[in-house]
A and B are shown apart, each in its own frame.
Chain A
């Protein structure tokens, strides 16, 4: 109605050319000049003055909408272009075998999963959006890359073009990770999705592993580096495979990742071991009664915590072969390994004997106690060798009766290993005990009563400073403690000289069986004597003592509870024996001599009484 074309008969009026914007005033009807490309709009001049402002106003109001529509139109065009570009790239990079050998001989896969990329958040920006040196027209063939790490690092630099450091540092975990890991290590490269979508789509463990399956590390205050890598397969096959990460790592979740700082790797192990207590309260309680915990608490950070034996994410299930009870101990107590491997116990284990003992069989797994100079290990032996007393009493008895108590007496005073550990050195260990309670008299109390420190204890006891404690010095110690209200006693026990030797248990055929080995004044086993004063946690301190400490008059009272027939003879009694026997013999000899000398007197007397003349 209002539009007219060139060549058409038009009436009188004002016509506006839409292309040139010119107005043509026709004073009478005539044919419009030009062809059909010429388009005119017939609008009265007054109408222009009304419609102009109205359309201007509408344009201003609709400008954002118009802009958005224009933007969408452009984006669609770009996406179309990107899609076209991506398809071109994927022409080659969808080949799973497409690789590149790096300078360090590592092989980098150049395969890109087209579907994943199409669904990724970066699909819209296309390949060249990140790989700016590559376009449909240009693909550099020679690009030197030293290593995967360098490649990963370089690739991550591109991310910062859109995601600047300032933005990333707003999140604490990003801030701490930025120096440790590259973007692609956590987020991947061609399959990056929105974080919200990523979180919603995966389970917690998988979410955590998004980053922790990478070779992440964390730096301690002392600059030590600790790997934060989690071996997914080890985690899955561990006894904790069905747990969520946050079950142990409380405070961490898909929405929160506190940044924790530890003094050292050791500090981290100790602190994180406390996590285990949440579920394993029994084991934790036992552990807190162990020498390991005591040593740790005492400041020796080398002492093991849970993860040192059980590992972090690869906690194994308890198995019948009890391998954990051997391997984990060997980490620190490697010195015992060779002697254990020389034992009948190890031989049995190799042969597949199910209950062949490992370390934890005797020393326990969590409530590991000090066994040196104690009866605890004997109890461990008897756990398996239940009929040991019965078997020993067959030959270790005192007639006329065969009583288990006699064998038991030997068990109390002699460590099993002292007889059953072939070629071990033996010694006599005189432990200090509270006479009233029968419990070990702790070093801490001795130090307090003697008003000294641990390094000065030997000096306090060894009054003649000859480096070895004699009987008189034992008596002096006993007396000093008694004067300060402590009634003590030294109880002796035979044990092997070195801890390692106690593990090389041989078969019974090789065990010491001859009584004379111990019950002789010159017994080799009684030559080395030690005073043992144990700390409250059981750790013993050994002080050299003289052999005569076992045979002296001075040690009768302090060592009144230790006696071995033939080996702890009090020398004074031997002297008395000689005097008494010689005295006994002297009486008849002297008397007979006197009778011989006085026989003439008796003859004379008999003659005086009418005897022979």
Chain B
């Protein structure tokens, strides 16, 4: 087994805070939205937790952003736009692996390195999430947190529209986090990727790497 240091401390910290935060936000959102059928805690408590967590995740987002911008490692999120065909082919190959190859015992076509951490599917989806969806969720969340404070933006757009965007992304993240957790179990062992996210080191079988 070869150990590759894939996840530096700031990223591991950011990831687990983000993970916990996402779950808390999703659950409190359920309580806020479906207070008539869910009774985990009061509406007021749910809103308080949701708002506190939201602000923590805003700060957390900037840990991620500053780390990757300052280290220049942000490029791991950026698909090779100068080789679009090759990137497309790699994406198909990766999808094919999850949909078919993994079932028949093919090895993962992507081998993570610190400079090439994500497979093409991860790369495109994480780029969208980190650069577009989370910022949009942060902004809409802030607008809804105090619509009057941000009335200059909320009023022209319409608060219901802002809410719908926020809720649509909540729906997406709710589904995403389930799939993300499942995909995290698809390492060479069920907990390999999850363990790596704690230790920082991803284990890779030597013979697979030699192929």
Interface residues of A (CB under 8 A from B): 398-400, 403, 405-406, 408-409, 412, 489, 515-516, 519-522, 556-557, 559-563, 565-566, 568-570, 573-574, 576-577, 580-581, 583-585, 587-588, 591-592, 594-595, 598, 601-602, 605-606
**Cα distance A536–B55 when bound, in Å?**
45
A410 to B179, CA, bound (A): 39
Bound Cα distance A259, B110 (Å)? 108
B160 touches A412 (CB 8 A): no
- With A570-B164, A573-B167, A580-B171 as given contacts, are A561 and B155 in contact (CB-CB < 8 Å)? yes
- Given known contacts A405-B149, A583-B175, A521 and B43 CB-to-CB distance under 8 angstroms: no
Knowing A561-B155, A563-B163, A573-B168 are in contact, say whether A606-B146 is a contact too (CB < 8 A): no
Q: Report the nearest A residue to B159, measured CB to CB.
A: A563
Residue pair B48, A399 in contact (C-beta under 8 Å): yes
Contact A595 B32 (CB under 8 A): no
Q: Is B179 a contact of A587 with CB atoms below 8 Å?
A: yes
With CB as the reference atom, state the residue of chain A lying closest to B207.
A609
B104 contacts A587, CB within 8 Å?
Answer: no
Query: In the complex, are the beta carbons of A565 and B159 less than 8 A apart?
Result: no
Q: How many Å lie between the Cα of A591 and that of B175 in the bound state? A: 15
Which residues does chain B contribute within 8 Å of A406, judged by CB atoms?
146, 148-149
Given contacts A516-B35, A519-B32, A598-B103, whether A398 and B175 have CB atoms under 8 Å apart is no
Query: Chain A nearest CB: distance from B210 CB in Å?
Result: 14
Question: Can you list 22 A-B pairs, Cβ within 8 angstroms, ordered by A?
Answer: A515-B42, A515-B43, A516-B43, A520-B43, A556-B160, A557-B158, A560-B160, A561-B158, A570-B164, A570-B167, A573-B164, A574-B33, A576-B171, A580-B174, A580-B175, A584-B178, A587-B178, A588-B181, A588-B182, A594-B103, A598-B103, A602-B104
For the complex, is B47 an interface residue (Cβ under 8 Å from A)?
A: yes
B71 in the interface, Cβ–Cβ < 8 Å? no
| Residue in A closest to B105 when the chains form the complex, CB atoms | A602
Hey, what's the 0/1 contact readout for B167-211 against A, CB within 8 Å counting as 1?
A: 110111011111101100000000000000000000000000000
Bound CA–CA A592/B171 (angstroms): 23
Candidates B35, B157, B182; contact of A521 at CB < 8 Å: B35
B55 (CB) vs chain A CBs: closest residue: A400
Q: Which residue of B lies closest to A561 (CB)?
A: B158
Q: Do A515 and B179 have beta carbons less than 8 Å apart?
A: no
Known: A409-B147, A594-B103. A516 touches B42 (CB 8 A): yes
> Nearest residue in B to A599 (C-beta to C-beta)?
B103
Contact A408–B148 (Cβ < 8 Å): yes
Looking at chain A's contact residues, is the secondary structure mostly helix, strand, loop, or mixed?
Answer: helix
Q: When chains A and B are docked, how far (Å) is the Cα of A602 from the Cα of B102?
A: 9
User: How would residues 29 to 43 of chain B score, 1 for a CB under 8 Å from any chain A CB and 0 otherwise?
Assistant: 000111110000011
- With both beta carbons as reference points, the residue of chain B lying nearest to A517 in the complex is identified as B43
Of chain B, the residue at the smallest CB distance from A570 is: B164
How many A-B contacts are there with CB distance less than 8 Å?
Answer: 127
- Contacts of B23 on A, CB cut-off 8 Å? none
Asked, given contacts A521-B34, A573-B167, whether A601 binds B103 with beta carbons under 8 Å apart, the answer is yes
User: What chain A residues lie within 8 Å of B9 (beta carbons)?
Assistant: none
Question: Closest 10 A-B residue pairs measured CB to CB?
Answer: A560-B158, A584-B175, A588-B182, A584-B178, A602-B105, A598-B103, A580-B175, A409-B148, A605-B105, A405-B148
- Is B161 engaged at the interface, CB distance under 8 Å to the other chain? yes
List A contacts of B98 (CB < 8 A). 591
A403 touches B105 (CB 8 A): no
- B146 is contacted by which of A403, A519, A563, A591 (Cβ under 8 Å)? A403
CB neighbours (8 Å) of B146 from chain A are 398, 403, 405-406, 409
Taking CB atoms, residues of chain B closer than 8 Å to A566 are 32-33, 35, 43
Q: Which residue of B lies closest to A567 (CB)?
A: B35
Excluding A403-B146, A563-B160, 6 further A-B contacts by CB distance (< 8 Å) are A400-B52, A563-B159, A581-B171, A581-B174, A601-B104, A602-B105
Per the bound structure, the CA–CA distance linking A592 and B190 in Å amounts to 12
Q: Are B52 and A591 in contact (CB under 8 A)?
A: no
Would you call A581 and B178 a contact (CB within 8 A)?
A: yes
Q: When chains A and B are docked, how far (Å) is the Cα of A605 from the Cα of B103?
A: 11
Instruction: For A568, list chain B residues within 8 Å (CB).
Output: 160
Q: Which residues of B contact A577 (CB under 8 A)?
A: 167, 170-171, 174
B105 with A595: CB separation less than 8 A: no
Q: Does A398 lie within 8 Å of B158, measured CB to CB?
A: no
In Å, the complex CA distance between A577 and B168 comes to 8
Task: List B residues 33-71 near A (Cβ within 8 Å).
Answer: 33-36, 42-44, 47-48, 51-52, 55
CB pair A588–B179 under 8 Å, yes or no, is yes
**Quick check: is B5 within 8 A (CB to CB) of the other chain?**
no
A595 partner residues in chain B, CB cutoff 8 A: 102-103
Q: Is the CB of B36 within 8 A of A522?
A: yes
Residues of B within 8 A of A521 (CB): 33-36
- Pairwise interchain contact A519-B35, C-beta atoms closer than 8 A: yes
Q: Are A515 and B171 in contact (CB under 8 A)?
A: no
A177 to B157, CA, bound (A): 71
Q: Smallest CB–CB gap between B140 and chain A, Å?
A: 12
B145 within 8 A of partner (CB): yes
In the complex formed, the residue of A with least CB distance to B181 is A588
Please report the C-alpha to C-alpha distance between residue A489 and residue B158 in the assembled complex, in whole angstroms.
10
Report B-chain residues with C-beta under 8 Å of the C-beta of A398.
47, 51, 145-146
Task: Give A514 to B94 CA distance when docked, in angstroms.
Answer: 52
Q: Give min CB distance, A62 to chain B, whole Å.
A: 108
- CB-CB under 8 A from B174, the residues of chain A are 577, 580-581, 584
Give the residues in chain B near A587, CB-CB below 8 Å: 178-179, 182
